[in-house]
Amino acid sequence: MPTRKATPTKKRTAPARKTSQRYWSREVTEHSDAMDLEDKVFTRSPRAIALSLKRSAERSSRRKSAPYRSAMSMLTFYENRAGHNLPASRRRVLEEAKDELRKLFHREPKPKAPGRARTSSKQARS
C-alpha cells in the first residue's frame, strides 16, 4: 500500500485583538455615572487620591449613597479591577489612600491584621 504524504495543517490562531479595544472597567473608571473623577486620579499620592475622591463624591448629585461610601466604592472598584496588573508598590498606595479617606471622613481606621506564621499544610491538619 502506498504511503500518503501528510498535508500540512493550518495552525488555528485566535483572532488578533484590536489595540484600541478598552476594558469595560476602564470605561467605568473614566466615565462613572455616579461621580465625575479627575484625570489620572489613581496615579497620585495616597492623600491626593483621597482628597480627589472626597471632592468628587461630595460634589456629585448622581450618587446613590453617602459620599464616603461612594468614594470608598470607587477606590475599591479600581483596586479590584486593576489590582492583578498593579505592582505591589501601587497597591500599597491604594491601601494608604483608603486609610486617608477614612481620616478625611472621620471614620475608624481599619485595624491592621496581625502577622500570621506560615505553616505547611501537614502542620495545619494535625
Q: How is 13-64 classified by DSSP, letter by letter?
A: -PPPPPTT---HHHHHHHS-SS--PPTTGGGS-HHHHHHHHHHHHHH-SS-S
| pLDDT the model gives residue 86 | 86
pLDDT in tens, 60-104: 888 888 999 999 999 998 888 877 788 989 999 999 999 999 999
d(CA 35, CA 37): 6
Per-domain residue ranges for the chain?
A: 24-104
Most confident of 6-15, 21-30, 42-51, 117-126: 42-51
Report which residue type is found at 81: R
| pLDDT the model gives residue 48 | 96
Q: Which cell numbers in the block locate residue 26? A: 476602564
d(CA 29, CA 94): 15
| pLDDT the model gives residue 65 | 87
58 against 34, higher pLDDT: 58
| pLDDT the model gives residue 36 | 80
Residue pair 73/85 in contact (Cβ under 8 Å)? The answer is: no
Specify the pTM: 0.65
What is the three-class DSSP state of 20? coil
d(CA 59, CA 21): 31
Residue pair 58/36 in contact (Cβ under 8 Å)? The answer is: no
Averaged pLDDT score across all residues of the chain: 78
| pLDDT the model gives residue 18 | 57
